[in-house]
Amino acid sequence: MSQYAALLIALPLISAFFVPVVKRLSRRAVMPFLVLITAVQTGIAAWVFNEVYTTGKPIIIMAGGFRPPVGINLYIGHFAALFALIIALVSLFMAAFSAKAITVEPKDKYAMLFLLLMLGATGMISTGDIFNLFVFMEITAISAYALTAYNKTGEASEAAMKYIILGGIGSSFFLVGIALIYGSLGTLNLAQIGLLASRMNPAVLQASLAMLVFGLAVEAELFPLNAWAPDAYQAAPHPVTTMFSAFVVKAGLYAMIRIMYLFKDTPAFAGILRLVLILGTLTVVIGELSALRQTNVKRMFAYSSIAQVGFIAVGFALGTQAGVNAAVFHMVNHAIVKALMFLAAGYVAVELGGVSLEDFRGLGRRMPLTAFSITVGAISVIGIPLFNVF
């Protein structure tokens, strides 16, 4: 029965392929179809979540019926189940919001890319195979490129171009890292790599680990490789910005941390931990400093989001159990809060037609509810007690 959790991957995929048919039947049906599918996805994710938390055991999906070192498996543990649920929920809200916010044609293509972005992030957090991780990373990245450029303005194209170039370098390096690991261990399964890690030659291990971290840092927006992020956040359609901040980045970060912790008994681990710590700290400092200078609300939130990701990375890189717990907690909270804030900002932008700080003046009178939610979000980002991000 638990194998039916594979629907988590199969459903978005089959419905993305179904969109052209829906479009032929009726052009207006595409957006309601998108909402329907994300709702069903939320249902499946909730079922998986319930299953994992009541039995207390992780669900392991074996594709093709081969046991883990041989075939590819999806490993849905506690965290992955929770995060799959969050992804599905955020996607559901964003799908509903898209029906209002997306005015640029062709909407059917937008719906397909949207579903596949959700699929990629879900796959990235749950996969148990390092090359499969690469494939899901590429699914996420390529649909993110296309969605960033979706508005077809100059800024959007330029942001997407930056993203593509950095992402291309990153994925090549990631693949080199996989090649080195495969060349010395002969396996691609994450769990087995963890078991055999001490057998690796230290020089090879260090090089491959650095390559893998470098490759994932593009997705996870760590400092030297996050130049794409503010532009992309600003230029992408509003629902897509929310999705980037809420789970695409987190999925990249989580994958990176997972790969790092596989090698925690090897001598190279301390070095790589220090590297991530430094990168995370730089990300926080630079992100926060840049956020202060912005006049565009979406861009400001983008910098704030980068800084928060830096915080999470620092938490993981501390290497203690408390640090990891705090980081996971922060990751979930930040996903929710940032989703709320971007949603509110996007909603204002759709209603009032602009996202500079000027447009937000007098918001409290015109749209009290939205203004309230932005305030709540902002307060919790600052870290006032009672609100969850601190």
What residues numbered 210-239 form the site for other proteins, per CB under 8 A?
224, 227-228, 230
The alpha carbon of 331 is separated from its chain's Cα centroid by a whole number of angstroms, namely 11
Least distance between other proteins and beta carbon 330 (Å): 24
Within a 10 A sphere around the Cβ of 137, how many other Cβ atoms? 26
Q: CB–CB of 77/52 below 8 Å? A: yes
Residues 31 and 107 sit within 8 Å (Cβ to Cβ): yes
Q: Which residue has the tokens 């090549």?
A: 172
One residue of 45, 86, 146, 276 binding other proteins per CB under 8 A? 146
Binding test (CB under 8 A) with other proteins, winner from 40, 79, 99, 184: 184
Out of 139, 222, 259, 326, the only residue in the binding site for other proteins (CB under 8 A) is: 139
Which span sits near other proteins by CB under 8 A: 137-145, 252-260, 354-362, 380-388? Answer: 137-145
Q: Tell me how far apart the alpha carbons of residues 290 and 299 are, in angstroms, rounded to a whole number.
A: 10
Name, in order, each residue with C-beta under 8 angstroms of 357's C-beta and a sequence gap of 6 or more.
295, 296, 297
Written as six digits, the tokens of 231 are: 């532009």
Residue among 180 and 374 whose Cβ is closer to other proteins: 180
Cα distance between residue 294 and residue 303, in whole Å: 9
Give residues 312-341 in contact with other proteins (rule: CB under 8 A). Answer: none
Between residues 258 and 330, which has the closer beta carbon with respect to other proteins? Answer: 258
The token pair that represents 144 in the structure block? 């993110």
Q: Is 25 in the site for other proteins (CB under 8 A)?
A: no
Q: For residue 226, how many C-alpha atoms fall within 13 Å in the half-sphere facing its CB?
A: 30
Residues 41-80 contacting other proteins, CB under 8 A = 61-66, 69-72
For other proteins, give the closer residue by CB, 24 or 365. 24
> Considering only 17-25, 37-45, 320-328, 381-389, which stretch makes contact with other proteins by CB under 8 A?
17-25
CA neighbor of 323 nearest in space, from 336, 310, 314, 333: 314
x/- binding map, residues 158-177, to other proteins, per CB under 8 A? x-xxx-xxxxxx-xx--xx-
CB atoms within 10 A of CB 251: 25
Angle formed at CA 29 by CA 27 and CA 35, multiple of 5 degrees: 135
Q: Which of 46, 47, 77, 155 binds other proteins (CB under 8 A)?
A: 155
Residue span 90-119 as binding mask against other proteins, x where in contact by CB under 8 A, dash where not: ---------------xx--xx-xx--x--x
Nearer to other proteins, 73 or 380 (CB): 73
Q: Kindly state the smallest distance separating residue 203's Cβ from other proteins, in Å.
A: 5
Host H or E run for residue 76: strand 73-76
CB of 322 to other proteins, least distance (A): 33
CB of 293 to other proteins, least distance (A): 11
The interface with other proteins within residues 251-290 (CB under 8 A) comprises 286, 290
